[in-house]
Chains A and B, each alone.
Chain A
Amino acid sequence: MRGFLAGFLLELRVVRANPDALIPLLTAPLFAIIFLAIVRQSGRSDLEPDALLAPVLMSLWWIALVQAGSMITADRWQAVLEPVIAAPTSLASVLVGRIACLMSVGLLSFFEVWLAGWLIFGVSIPFEHPLELALTLVATALAMAGTAVAFAALFVMTRNAYTFINSASFPFYVLGGVLVPVAYLPDWIEPVSSLLFLSWSADLLRATLKEPAVDDFWSRLAMVLVLGAITFAIGRAVLFHVLRRMRAKGELATA
């Protein structure tokens, strides 16, 4: 727990010192304005809640991919990975604490899009099922954190993480159905999408904003958490293996 807290507080300082960490908080309201403009100009006010929540998912994904995902690689470049691993506190607890901090920052985008929609278009998030909405957001942030660990493992292994980071945003926004439900994609893509927690999160978030009761809420929420946990477990196992190999070969400090 101490490692978790230390990681959380460390990342807060990193965020304060690094303006790049604010990118998703600046782009989320802009994307909300863009999506709202599209649906309103087309006379589809029924899609306004979806237009408001999509940027929140995009912000969390960006943070998991870019900031949390490249955390270990950045530590390695800055030559702090060795002392972190040599310290008695486990790397996992510090890492999870740091990612939790980033996800907490990312969740601020929810309030930003709410404010942007209200200030510019007079549109608010309809809190039809507030408890379900809050639980889904928290479950999504947890699953994102799990995914970030998998990204961290992947980026440590690859020489050119930049190419992947640059390419893995919009493909997942489409496959995850963050704004347009997966049902609009070709049939053969749907099985792939159903393996992504993002598609379950997006569907569930949309459902919590509609008036009718949310069908199968708990099982769908569990699916988000289970898929996030599976991604986390795979990422953690790979990261453990990669770091052990690096320690054995003396490659921790080399790029």
Chain B
Amino acid sequence: MAATLNVMRHAFHAGLADYRAIFTWRSWLAGWYVRVLFQVGFFALIGERLGDDDKTYYLLVGNSMLIAGQLGVFSLNMTTAERWAGTLPLLVASPSSPVLVFSARGAYLAVDGALSALAALFVAGPIFGMDLPWPRVLAVIPVTLVIAAASYAFGTFLAGVVFRFRSVNSLVVVTTYVALMAACGVNVPLSYYPEPVELLSRVLPLTNGLLAIRDAFAGAPAAEIVGNTALEAAVALGWMIAALLSFNRLASRGRRDGSLDYGA
């Protein structure tokens, strides 16, 4: 157990070092955060065009939380990054399970996702005149963390699935996050979807957590908020278990047919 935690700790620090090489605080704020604000603003403006304040706030909340989901899905990029760095075969050959490394190495994305989502909500909200009811709004913070964790677990599972098909990695990342935007109640209520889509969305990350956040804004009873948050946590757990069960098997297939190397 100590060895496992040690591997995860080192992997997390390696991920942080990667992230620091990509972003400084200044480039995060002037680059990524500006994009996040405009992404949320883009959808909130649709509400303005519809001439409906409630719809504006609905879109604003949904698309702010989508940022947490989006960054969680970005964890898919981890395998491609390892491949480019030439460390993927080494990771698979090492005695530790690659899923331990991947789940810890990209964990900063879950943290960044939650931070970006909250920063978008708390800045874009007042810009569009949305009321952030105090202290009820504080409930949004832990729920956002659960959404980020669920999305990250989902991304890690997908990373295992596309492990051997890394040429489609970016395609899967972008399509998955837009699909979450389409199916998880981000822009229209779940009741708008056909029933099969609604059922599917309940096992995807973001859907249940977003319901909890909308409950918090609407002043729903605490039990309802906790119930939906618990469902989101269950979805997170489910996807992490799926990742743990599938990742090693998929990786070992790549080891057998030699498809893990840089040139493969």
Contact = CB atoms under 8 A, between A and B. Distances in A.
Contacts of B258: none
B200 to A, nearest CB: 15
A192 to B, nearest CB: 13
Q: How large is the interface on A (under 10, 10 to 19, 20 to 34, 35 or more residues)?
A: 35 or more
A44 B174 CA distance: 28
B132 interface: no
Interface string A34-78: 110111011010010000000000000000000000000000000
Contacts of B181: 30, 34
A253 interface: no
Given A42-B55, A166-B31, A174-B38, A160 B22 contact: yes
Interface string B212-231: 00000000000000000000
B46 interface: yes
B32 interface: yes
Interface string A159-197: 010111011111101100001110011000000000000
A160 B32 CA distance: 13
B187 A37 contact: yes
A35 B186 CA distance: 12
A26 interface: yes
Contacts of B178: 27, 30-31, 34
Contacts of B23: 163
Interface string B81-119: 000000000000000000000000000000000000000
Contacts of B139: none
A133 B186 CA distance: 32
A104 B16 CA distance: 40
A20 B170 contact: yes
A19 B182 contact: no
A23 B22 contact: no
Contacts of A38: 46, 50, 55, 59, 187-188
Contacts of B31: 163-164, 166-167
A23 B175 contact: yes
Q: How large is the interface on B (under 10, 10 to 19, 20 to 34, 35 or more residues)?
A: 20 to 34
A47 B47 CA distance: 12
Contact of A180 (B45, B168, B174): B45
Nearest to A21: B171
B38 A170 contact: yes
A143 B189 CA distance: 38
A22 interface: yes
A30 B175 contact: yes
Contacts of B50: 38-39, 42, 44, 47
B26 to A, nearest CB: 10
B179 interface: yes
B35 A170 contact: yes
A18 interface: yes
Contact of B175 (A27, A42, A169): A27
Contacts of A234: none
B86 to A, nearest CB: 15
A125 B167 CA distance: 34
A24 B22 CA distance: 25
Interface in A1-36: 18-20, 22-23, 26-27, 30-31, 33-35
B152 to A, nearest CB: 18
Contact of B27 (A26, A44, A160): A160
Nearest to A27: B178
Contact of B34 (A23, A34, A44, A167): A167
Contact of B171 (A23, A30, A184): A23
Contacts of B39: 169-170
A162 B192 contact: no
A35 B42 CA distance: 11
Contact of B182 (A34, A41, A164): A34
Nearest to B193: A37
A38 B187 CA distance: 6
Given A19-B167, A37-B192, A168-B35, 15 more contacts: A19-B168, A20-B170, A20-B171, A26-B174, A30-B181, A38-B55, A42-B50, A42-B52, A47-B49, A166-B32, A167-B35, A169-B39, A170-B42, A179-B49, A180-B48
9 contacts: A30-B182, A34-B182, A39-B50, A41-B188, A47-B49, A171-B35, A173-B38, A179-B49, A180-B45
Interface of B: 22-23, 27, 31-32, 34-35, 38-39, 41-42, 45-46, 48-50, 52, 55, 59, 167-168, 170-171, 174-175, 178-179, 181-182, 187-189, 192
